Structure 1
């Protein structure tokens, strides 16, 4: 059989102007075997040795920023955000290279006394040999490496499948890897069948993407009996209390919802505002939305670009239309525009929304802000928690102290206080997604690396082993 050619679409033009050969099953197996062969020597370098090489990886990536960001801009239709994403990925490498050796030094290896008399325990740590990642299309560079880098720091080899929707950055990244041949990191390319083949080859898999696909990954990992970390969808709420400044809150809410065209799992997708400040807040929110420009016709001007994936644009429009049909009012935006082949949506503010609307139940992944007015904070908390998701949330109040007093009552893995979507900027705050937003240890904080270490117990007898006569019948009592 011949190779499978996959075509990628340019989100600004709508044209399929790039193609690549999907990795075959044999190629994936060969890459996995090569990485497995390289992994023992990589782990044997020790934390400091691996950190040094990861720093070289970051330096080589930084030198190639222009090439990586250029391909990323074509893939995503985003200019400034693409540069920020590449810099974020480089920063993530350097952070783990700096933090990793200290983490290894802090591991409790023992010996420590057991509860069993005469026995002490020493703990040895070793990495899962081969780590695998299946990455999404919304932030292709950073999310292809966000788990792979701490896995490498832990001592794993890493096999990564970027999204077939946004594949262009892999070419310059392979050039970067050629400058760091000691690094056991490789990419395999293709669709769902390549992801399935990757799972069959690795010892630990991380997946970032939709909840529906995450369930399939979890099932495949369970059949192979390997750990699976899932970072899935969200429907993040923001509560704004009566003491918050309405204009300030509107600015925070707008940015937290529409950056990257809202195509981020941590985007704010539901807003609950106290009735005492609802009118000035909504007025400020609409005014702010109307000042936001799309990046068309000039890709170097404006704030938000096109949808990356056409089915996503259709889904967002379906949610808006459903809300309007059920009585919601569109205060700004509201219609996906097809401009020179790209699909754009200006920030869309909806009021008069109700919990039964799709826009309040399903992940949107677009620049849509449905606003609900509440009278009692108890009601706001109940509505914010009325979701199958539990990724993150936000609270804006008149003071940090007031916001903090409410945080633990929200059923989500991370709560941004006096800001929104902070998990996109803060990588050292451990949190665990709840509900259908994820499964497994946190990718943030120190657990982002330690989850890739296996514990082996060395159980040491310091006294005399029991003789067989200890088990002779009639000896008990």
Structure 2
């Protein structure tokens, strides 16, 4: 019998929820059911698929209170949960609007006058999604929605740390006949995810580099595509000409939104020497104004640390920095309050790349600030990382910032702002270095990843092709 998994509440520290992982046999049967449903789902056409997804949205609007409560229990935060739900609905509407045009077949002439080309694409039958705990709803559906619109069936394994949100999703889903046959969620931990990869035709994974490597190896052995969105250690560069007030406000949000629990968080900040003191003093003053959402959800902006394991990592990074000479200006510790783990926004100076807080993913509300003397030095420091997910550059003009941004090894760079890919999903981007693998989940490519291109090469006349054998001559070697 599969062993139940107890789930911890991040606000109270109590294990107040239980999930039971599916056995490999039941998981395989579920995947077979989804594959059967996919045939009819594809035949439904794009208009029918859009209608089914919009019906799901309407059903979820009726379950919004239950969904909000579940997300709060999963993550311990209120305002970001409300933003996450709104982002989910926005993502669903955006893809429903874009999909009809992006999925159109095309026909055209070719370089050979009597051969026409008809281009189409067919969906992968079953897509697997393994999603993380920091944005449970958004990151479990950010790949699932375009895959469904492309005509795939989808099975999602959310994190075992934040599974409560699945119940209201399924309640709404079960009222939509077509959709419930091609979309399902499976609960479990790492072994369930490993079993899932063995059952699908394409896998999307969001999580750590370590686990991403294992996913990639298994996918390669099974000869299926893997799209990996992994860790980040996003830098911000603040040039001498930057608007300090704007930069500190943007970087503060980009660093501590969702308590810093985002792969798109700004995790290291490089500031021109001439404005360094003014910058970090302003950053500290603004960080002091943010409060913990404790004891009530509405009390402040900073929620608890969702993962107990992550709380230990944040504490380790802070202790390592302090031991090596870093100076803490605010925050600076992980504290336990009523069973939950909390960390106030933390600004650190006197840091360098010998410290974990400057080189390893912290995933907390930590803002290490380091001066640079030349732009070349700033670029070198920003690129001195195994990660290359995103970044930010601040300068007096967008042109000057773009000049610096062009030298950074990162897939998405916010100019005079921070974390914009969390808000705007139109820009196609790839993850650089160890931050990921595969096509962009943003922009048009986000849906095209789930299609296999197919070409029909059509002969348009009855004449013999000039490259055929000349059958009128005697046989001879060619």
Q: TM-score range by the shorter chain?
A: over 0.9
Cα drift, residue 88 of structure 1: 0.8
Distance in structure 2 (CA, Å) of the matches to 1:432 and 1:471: 56
SS of the equivalent of 2:210 reads: helix
- Equivalent pair of 1:61/1:90 in contact (CA under 8 Å): no
Structure 1 equivalent of residue 232 of structure 2: 234
Distance in structure 1 (CA, Å) of the matches to 2:142 and 2:257: 20
SS of the equivalent of 1:186 reads: strand
Structure 2 equivalent of residue 415 of structure 1: 413
Give the alignment partner of residue 164 of structure 2, picking from 161, 168, 184: 168
Structure 1 equivalent of residue 378 of structure 2: 380
Distance in structure 1 (CA, Å) of the matches to 2:261 and 2:362: 8
Give the alignment partner of residue 368 of structure 2, picking from 367, 370, 395: 370
Q: Provide, for residues 110-148 of structure 1, a one-character-per-residue CA deviation record: whole Å limited to 9, x for no partner.
A: 243146x74333222111111110000010001000000
SS of the equivalent of 2:269 reads: strand
Cα drift, residue 23 of structure 1: 1.3
Cα pair distance change 1:187/1:470, threshold 3 Å:
farther
Structure 2 residue ranges without an equivalent (≥5):
none
State whether structure 2 residue 218 is matched by structure 1 residue 220.
Answer: yes
Distance in structure 2 (CA, Å) of the matches to 1:136 and 1:182: 27
Structure 2 equivalent of residue 18 of structure 1: 17
Distance in structure 2 (CA, Å) of the matches to 1:181 and 1:193: 30
Give the alignment partner of residue 155 of structure 2, picking from 153, 159, 163: 159
Structure 1 equivalent of residue 80 of structure 2: 81
Cα pair distance change 1:26/1:468, threshold 3 Å:
farther
Q: Provide, for residues 84-129 of structure 1, a one-character-per-residue CA deviation record: whole Å limited to 9, x for no partner.
A: 1111111111111111012123x5x3243146x7433322211111
Give the alignment partner of residue 130 of structure 2, picking from 134, 137, 140: 134
Q: Provide, for residues 177-226 of structure 1, a one-character-per-residue CA deviation record: whole Å limited to 9, x for no partner.
A: 01212111000110111111111111111000011110011011111100
Distance in structure 2 (CA, Å) of the matches to 1:251 and 1:8: 35
Distance in structure 1 (CA, Å) of the matches to 2:470 and 2:329: 82
Q: Provide, for residues 249-276 of structure 1, a one-character-per-residue CA deviation record: whole Å limited to 9, x for no partner.
A: 1111111100101000000001011111
Distance in structure 2 (CA, Å) of the matches to 1:65 and 1:36: 30
Distance in structure 1 (CA, Å) of the matches to 2:472 and 2:360: 63
Which stretch of structure 1 is more off in the superposition, 150-159 or 26-35? 26-35
SS of the equivalent of 1:138 reads: coil
Runs of 4+ in structure 1 over 4 Å off: 468-476
Cα pair distance change 1:470/1:126, threshold 3 Å:
farther
SS of the equivalent of 2:328 reads: strand
Distance in structure 2 (CA, Å) of the matches to 1:62 and 1:159: 22
Q: TM-score, normalised by structure 1?
A: 0.96
Cα pair distance change 1:398/1:471, threshold 3 Å:
farther
Give the alignment partner of residue 317 of structure 1, picking from 315, 318, 321: 315
Distance in structure 1 (CA, Å) of the matches to 2:445 and 2:474: 47
SS of the equivalent of 1:251 reads: helix
- Equivalent pair of 1:114/1:121 in contact (CA under 8 Å): no
Cα pair distance change 1:472/1:236, threshold 3 Å:
farther
Cα drift, residue 57 of structure 1: 1.6
Give the alignment partner of residue 469 of structure 2, picking from 443, 467, 470: 467
Cα pair distance change 1:471/1:212, threshold 3 Å:
farther
Distance in structure 2 (CA, Å) of the matches to 1:468 and 1:434: 53
Q: Provide, for residues 261-306 of structure 1, a one-character-per-residue CA deviation record: whole Å limited to 9, x for no partner.
A: 1000000001011111111111001111111111111222101111
Q: How does 1:160-199 map to 2 (within 5 A)?
A: 160-183=156-179, 184-199=182-197
Distance in structure 2 (CA, Å) of the matches to 1:316 and 1:419: 25
Structure 2 equivalent of residue 342 of structure 1: 340
Structure 1 equivalent of residue 107 of structure 2: 110
Q: TM-score, normalised by structure 2?
A: 0.96
Distance in structure 2 (CA, Å) of the matches to 1:366 and 1:475: 72
Cα drift, residue 329 of structure 1: 0.8
SS of the equivalent of 2:401 reads: helix
Cα drift, residue 468 of structure 1: 7.4
Distance in structure 1 (CA, Å) of the matches to 2:377 and 2:472: 64
Distance in structure 1 (CA, Å) of the matches to 2:268 and 2:2: 45
- Equivalent pair of 1:51/1:101 in contact (CA under 8 Å): no
Which stretch of structure 1 is more off in the superposition, 294-303 or 339-348? 294-303
Cα drift, residue 426 of structure 1: 0.7
Structure 1 residue ranges without an equivalent (≥5):
none
RMSD: 1.6
Q: Provide, for residues 404-449 of structure 1, a one-character-per-residue CA deviation record: whole Å limited to 9, x for no partner.
A: 2322111100000111000110111110010000000000001000
Structure 2 equivalent of residue 93 of structure 1: 92
Cα pair distance change 1:458/1:471, threshold 3 Å:
farther
- Equivalent pair of 1:72/1:82 in contact (CA under 8 Å): yes
Q: Provide, for residues 49-92 of structure 1, a one-character-per-residue CA deviation record: whole Å limited to 9, x for no partner.
A: 21121111222222211111101101101111111111111111
